[in-house]
Amino acid sequence: MASIEDLRQALADRQRLPPEQARTMPSGFYTSEAFLDLEREQIFRKEWVCLGHVGEAGEPGSFFTTELVGEPLLVVHGRDGVIRVLSNVCRHRAHPVAKGSGKAKAFACPYHGWTYDTAGRLTDAWLMDSLPDFDKAQCPLPAFRTEIWQNFIFVNLSGDAEPLAPRLAPLLPSIEGYQHQDRRHVFAADDVWNTNWKCLTENFMEGYHLSITHRKTLHPITPTVLSEKVPGSVHFTAYRSPYSPETPERGPYHPKLDASLRRVSTLFCIFPSFVVSYASHFTLYMCLRPKSVSEVAIHWGVAGYVPSRDAPEVQAYVDLCNAFNAEDRQKLEALQTSMSTRHFQSGRLAPAPFEGTIWDFYLFMADRLVGPAPRSAKLPAAAE
């Protein structure tokens, strides 16, 4: 089994390669428990990680719970209108204060009844007032640094990451025309697949597999050969997936949607693990979190320019997503099993329009786990 230093060296080696010689990473990149521990500390605790869509906490008092690298989290829309990410751990004896999702005026810990408001302030601590030095004001739920971008909720556990929005400014010209901010959140679900989190991140972000894995579901709409790479950075990667000439326009879409975007989806990844597809009619997003070295926790959802979540187009699109997700899951779970062989050797990545996004991802991982790339290293450009 490759050591952490072996895998860091493999990333450093790839930093020095020109994009046209891009190679896959060795199997330990996806199977090493020690490397996953490094990722948890150096990436998921230090980077901006998406937890969901603002529509999942759309009204004051709305909340949902999740976790990130072992940190129980409470995402709540405060009565003051602010969406916060709070620690879902009571300040008394560490029991979770909330479970699942819903609406609440306050959160009462079911263990001893300590109660917090929607801003995380401790408002009641049963029988504690008899302690002369006890001060409820000193016992709020810890709040994590939060940023809303394109109606998605991001958290930074360490609290010291650079602001998110400026990092992603170069991506906006490729996506803001889809008018995502006016799409209604209509669906969300959670799942766990038996594959490494990086395998699913890479799979979502490359068009090379569309015409093979998704022969009946996606190939007729977005065939591989039409894929176009969007220039990326160490913060994001993206590609365009134009619709085949035989595919009719996919609606309903925003009245301001530019004609140039009515026949193309743009897929992007905000590193490390937030993957999104803006199609002409719907947004599909996946918030990915490592559960174990061979398990990825998936929170995914859909938003669309529809009057309500009951619009007939919603179920049709969710059914399509479920169909191609099942196809991906089958491939990725088989991939995870075969990755453990000692005979797997890294191979060449496909040209930039098809797998240049994976190369961007490797360079992000190298930047965070090895250091900045040599000046000679460069990201793959858009398709010629």
Q: How far apart are the first and last CA of the chain?
A: 39
Nearest to 29 by CA among 196, 209, 208, 201: 196
CA–CA gap between residue 371 and residue 344 (Å, rounded): 27
Give the pLDDT confidence of 122-166 residue by residue, as tens digits.
Answer: 999 999 988 999 999 999 999 999 999 999 999 999 999 999 999
The beta strands (E) that lie in 305-347 are given as none
Query: By percentage, how much of the chain surpasses pLDDT 90?
Result: 93
Instruction: Report the top-level CATH class of 4-47+165-369.
Output: alpha beta
| pLDDT over 60 (residue 105) | yes
**Strand ranges in 280-377 using DSSP code E only, listed in sequence order:** 282-292, 295-304
CB burial class (10 A; 0-12, 13-18, 19+) of residue 331?
Answer: middle
Question: Is the model's pLDDT at 377 over the cut of 80?
Answer: no
Per residue in 15-44, pLDDT (tens digit) is: 999 999 999 999 999 999 999 999 999 999
Residue 206 has a CB neighbour count (10 Å cut-off) of 24
> What distance in Å separates the CA atoms of residue 177 and residue 170, rounded to the nearest whole number?
14
Q: Please compute the mean of the pLDDT values over residues 254-281 and round it to a whole number.
A: 96
pLDDT tens digit sequence for 171-216:
999 999 999 999 999 999 999 999 999 999 999 999 999 999 999 9
| Over residues 4-12, mean pLDDT | 96
> How far, in Å, CA of 97 to CA of 91, rounded?
9
* pLDDT computed for residue 344 by the predictor: 83
Which pLDDT belongs to residue 346?
A: 86
| Number of helices (H), then strands (E), in the chain | 9, 17
Question: Given pLDDT bands bounded at 50, 70 and 90, which one contains residue 383?
Answer: very low
Q: Dump pLDDT digits (tens) for 300-316.
A: 999 999 999 999 999 99
Contacts 24+ apart (CB under 8 A), 221-226: 221/247, 221/250, 222/265, 224/354
Owner of token pair 């490094």: 38
Sign of torsion, CA 255 256 258 262? negative
The pLDDT of residue 345 is: 81
Whole-number pLDDT of residue 376: 52
Give how far Cα 205 sits from Cα of 29, 232, 275, 277, 357, Å: 18, 12, 7, 9, 6
Summarised one tens digit per residue, pLDDT across range 329-376 is 999 999 999 988 877 888 999 999 999 999 999 999 999 999 987 765
The pLDDT value recorded for residue 382 is 44
Distance, CA of 368 to CA of 362 (rounded, Å): 10
- Cα separation, 317 vs 320, in Å, equals 5
Question: What fold, for 50-149?
Answer: Rieske Iron-sulfur Protein (2.102.10)
- Over the chain, what is the mean pLDDT? 95
Burial 296-313 (b: 16+ CB within 10 A, else e): bbbbbbbbbbbeeeebeb
Enumerate the CATH 3.90.380.10 domain ranges in the chain, comma separated: 4-47+165-369
Which residues in the chain are classed under CATH 2.102.10.10? 50-149
At residue 375, the pLDDT reads 62
One-letter identity of residue 187 = F
Residue whose token pair is 């060296």: 9
C-alpha closest to that of 96 among 123, 66, 69, 119: 66
Q: Can you say whether residue 371 is alpha, beta or left, with left for phi > 0 and alpha for psi between -120 and 50 degrees?
A: left
Do the Cβ atoms of 92 and 132 come closer than 8 Å?
no
